Amino acid sequence: MKKASKIIWLIFSFLVIALGLTYFLYSGDLRENKIQMTEATASDNVYGWAWGTNFGWVSMNCVNDFDGDEKITLPGENHCSSECLGGSNDGGTCVDDGDCPGGGTCESREYGVNIASSGDFDDDSYSWSSNVGWFDYAPSSTVALDPFGVATDDCYLNTDGTVSGWSRSVANLWGNPNCHSWVRMRGDQMAEADFERQCAEYSDAGDSCLVNGDCLSNFCTLGVPKTCGGASDVGMACIHNSDCESNDCALSAPAFTWNAGTSTYQGTFPSCVSCDYYKKYCSGGENDGLACTDAGDCPDGSCNYSVVSSSMSGAEYRCGICYTETLVSGLGGGRLCVKTSNQNMCSGCTNNSDPTPDTCTDCPRCYEYGVAVDYKKNRLSGWAWGTLHKEVGTGNCGSNLGVGWLAFHATGTGVFAPWLESSYGGIYSSSGVGSAGTFRPPIGKYSATYAIHTGGTITNFYSASGSQWESQGYDVINFPDATKNYSSILGKIDFPGLQAGTYGNTESITSAADIDSVLGGKVYVHEGHLTISSPLTFSGGSAGTPNGSGTIIVRGNLYINDDIAYNMAAVAKLKYLPSVAFIVLGDVIVDSDVTSLVGAYVVLGDGTPATCPALSDASSGCGRFSSGTTGSGSTDDSLLVSGLVVAKQFKLERLFSSLDMGAERFVYDGRLLANTPPGLQDITQALPEWQEIAP
């Protein structure tokens, strides 16, 4: 399996998570998102279905919607289990060959397609068709040259959201053992006013042509799917006239032209997806957060599009993916036209009511055909073209059709990536939450249980309590640092009082081993960096030590290399309940082996620098919380934090991906209210009370 060559991080700043309070500064255009990498099983991140015009349905994952109820069937419901091949129990479930009497073998049915953080499709990415078998999305390790005679490109997710490269059928079911069907995921990018036709099948695929007779396949194409023009099958995909009752299989003329003045393709784009309302705002500089028209309005900053409410004055409706032809089998056909960035999207767009597709008039980049990620709905969208190719010897593969057009469309084909989960709480942000390239949580999952408030905009983050709990332009959020006397909307951290012993005995420590298992209401102070290298468990108080809470001040970085937990034994009084807070004058760095943390983490930084740098740069003690990663989704675990985290910047690195849980999970456990650690009494006044249902 391929290893990720780089990690693309989610970017969060000024954040409080869980206990109902989460501050976010989220930036970056994510393909640019944490796409996980793992084995081809239930946690692969592409799922759903594709439709082959010549052979029917293709399942992208053994974890899928198999009954059409728009819900994913989870592992354990037999779709990923092993089954007998041959013998008297042919088709039955099995554990080993012993369960398959009569000469059968026990074969694994686990499969899936997975996109690594680098954009590469994993070596073990396979989809399954009950009619033609397996499709390999990383065939370069099997076959060196593609049908064009050049080095085989595996499938790859590009920064413009399109998927390039080849998928190859493993079976040779087309009458010749040397013939396989190859599926090209994206045609060539269109040059300015380039409408060159090319042969689409056999050994002359890619050669220039003018009419069908110029090609061995009798198929000279602009990359637009051919459709029947009359009778009962009008609009159905076809290759030859004989495929249609009307004997009329035709290509449509291009519906757009290149405008050099605007650097866009202009015309009619009758089917567009990945659409939303946008408005430009300054990012950074003295006018940060103010509306703008260009960079001149943003001294020392940039002018960027952000998703906004449709009712906001000046909002523009824009789309990320458009097609030049009308709907074919439920999906726009023809050229695939896409945005080049979040600042250069398809424009002149109209938001039409379902089931009428959205439309646009201008797009900055077009391909002959192709497949792209619709981040708005977590799915793959578009058409790939399958052609028969004789891999050994010369000549063609006879009159067989091969795979033909493969449609990835609205039946649920999707992609999901590591996502943030805040349970029993909400999200508060001084800037924006999410981006147009951010993957939303899987179906039936949410970013927060209750409120999402931000001073900027909300994109692909969702409250389980409904859109009425999602508020943009919330401008009363600040960070409790020294310049504000450690005060914020949350309340005040009495940092001077903590150091002066106002809230309990102050005890200097030299290592984590000096911290008592029963905290005893103390304030522990460590000078310099502190490393927790072995499991740390806090126990409840008793009559002899009647306070289970405590605050630990670290004058440097806090390195957490092992789990931190509470002893879950019952206590006689709430005051005995173990409850810990860490106040860190530096960074918090969590090791990738850590799976569970408890407590309140207030990451203030050392004041130098006053603001955190880009995540690609070293933090240098600015107040960053880093969750840690092994660099691979196959070895990363989900990180559970039961408590509160406040930080100037978050580097959420985990590549773990699951339909059931987030890569980082922040869960309100109520302890900060039940037994408040020393010095945080004022903070608790802003926290929600523990309830079994949402207010």
Report residue 318's pLDDT band, with 50, 70 and 90 as the boundaries: very high
Asked whether residue 489 carries a pLDDT value surpassing 80, the answer given is no
What residue segments make up the domains of the chain, in order of their start?
256-368, 480-686
Window from 21-25, 103-107, 195-199, 660-664 with minimum mean pLDDT: 21-25
Asked whether residue 435 carries a pLDDT value surpassing 70, the answer given is no
Report residue 683's pLDDT band, with 50, 70 and 90 as the boundaries: low
Q: Which pTM does this prediction carry?
A: 0.62
Return the pLDDT at 130: 82
Return the pLDDT at 26: 26
- Which range of 126-140, 278-292, 432-446, 571-585 scores highest in mean pLDDT? It is 571-585
Beta bridge partners of 136: 126, 168
Q: pLDDT by residue (tens digit) across 369-396?
A: 999 988 777 678 899 998 888 887 766 6
What is the distance between the alpha carbons of residues 60 and 533, in angstroms, rounded to a whole number?
Answer: 42
The dihedral sign for the CA sequence 46, 51, 52, 55:
positive
What is the distance between the alpha carbons of residues 362 and 345, in angstroms, rounded to a whole number?
Answer: 9
Window from 77-81, 110-114, 461-465, 689-693 with minimum mean pLDDT: 689-693
Structure token pair of residue 485? 């006397």
What's the first-to-final CA gap in the chain, in angstroms?
A: 47
Report residue 36's pLDDT band, with 50, 70 and 90 as the boundaries: very low
- Which range of 118-132, 454-468, 594-608 scores highest in mean pLDDT? It is 594-608
| Higher pLDDT, residue 142 or 451 | 142
Percentage of the chain lying above the pLDDT 70 cut:
74
Window from 132-136, 245-249, 309-313 with minimum mean pLDDT: 245-249
Report residue 474's pLDDT band, with 50, 70 and 90 as the boundaries: low
| Higher pLDDT, residue 157 or 1 | 157
What is the distance between the alpha carbons of residues 682 and 294, in angstroms, rounded to a whole number?
Answer: 43
Q: Could you tell me the CA-to-CA distances from 565 to 507, 525, 550, 557 in Å, in that order?
A: 22, 20, 14, 20
Return the pLDDT at 156: 94
| Higher pLDDT, residue 71 or 157 | 157
What is the distance between the alpha carbons of residues 188 and 495, in angstroms, rounded to a whole number?
Answer: 61
- Which range of 219-228, 597-606, 661-670 scores highest in mean pLDDT? It is 597-606
Window from 74-83, 163-172, 589-598 with minimum mean pLDDT: 74-83
By DSSP bridging, strand 56-59 and strand 83-85 are unpaired
Average pLDDT over residues 103-114: 85
What is the distance between the alpha carbons of residues 411 and 48, in angstroms, rounded to a whole number?
Answer: 7
Window from 6-20, 218-232, 554-568 with minimum mean pLDDT: 6-20
Window from 326-330, 394-398, 403-407 with minimum mean pLDDT: 394-398
Structure token pair of residue 17? 């998570």
Asked whether residue 498 carries a pLDDT value surpassing 50, the answer given is yes
Return the pLDDT at 222: 54
Return the pLDDT at 455: 67
Burial class (CB in 10 A: 0-12, 13-18, 19+), 516: middle
Which of 254, 391, 226, 261 has the alpha carbon at shortest distance from 335?
254
What is the distance between the alpha carbons of residues 601 and 599, in angstroms, rounded to a whole number?
Answer: 6
Asked whether residue 437 carries a pLDDT value surpassing 60, the answer given is no
Burial class (CB in 10 A: 0-12, 13-18, 19+), 350: middle
Window from 141-145, 150-154, 301-305, 390-394 with minimum mean pLDDT: 390-394
Asked whether residue 443 carries a pLDDT value surpassing 70, the answer given is no
CA torsion, points 406, 408, 410, 413, in degrees to nearest 10? 130
Return the pLDDT at 646: 81
Q: pLDDT by residue (tens digit) across 516-534?
A: 999 999 999 999 999 999 9
- Which range of 176-180, 214-218, 564-568 scores highest in mean pLDDT? It is 564-568
Average pLDDT over residues 13-34: 29
* Average of per-residue pLDDT values in the chain: 77
Asked whether residue 103 carries a pLDDT value surpassing 60, the answer given is yes
Return the pLDDT at 694: 35
Q: Does residue 388 contact residue 24 with C-beta atoms inside 8 Å?
A: no
What is the distance between the alpha carbons of residues 112 and 115, in angstroms, rounded to a whole number?
Answer: 10
What is the distance between the alpha carbons of residues 33 and 568, in angstroms, rounded to a whole number?
Answer: 36
- Secondary structure element (H or E) that encloses residue 475, with its range: none
What is the distance between the alpha carbons of residues 522 and 532, in angstroms, rounded to a whole number?
Answer: 19
Average pLDDT over residues 626-631: 90
- Which range of 23-32, 69-78, 175-184, 332-341 scores highest in mean pLDDT? It is 332-341
Q: pLDDT by residue (tens digit) across 261-276?
A: 888 999 889 999 889 8
| Higher pLDDT, residue 562 or 237 | 562
Report residue 431's pLDDT band, with 50, 70 and 90 as the boundaries: low
Asked whether residue 609 carries a pLDDT value surpassing 50, the answer given is yes
Return the pLDDT at 370: 94
Asked whether residue 691 carries a pLDDT value surpassing 50, the answer given is no
- Which range of 71-85, 297-311, 424-438, 646-660 scores highest in mean pLDDT? It is 297-311
Helix, strand, coil shares of the chain, percent, nearest 5, are 5, 35, 60
The dihedral sign for the CA sequence 200, 372, 379, 125:
positive
Position 672, amino acid: L
Return the pLDDT at 39: 26
- Which range of 32-46, 447-461, 506-520, 625-639 scores highest in mean pLDDT? It is 506-520
Report residue 414's pLDDT band, with 50, 70 and 90 as the boundaries: low
Q: pLDDT by residue (tens digit) across 175-193?
A: 677 888 899 999 989 876 4
Return the pLDDT at 205: 64
Percentage of the chain lying above the pLDDT 90 cut:
27
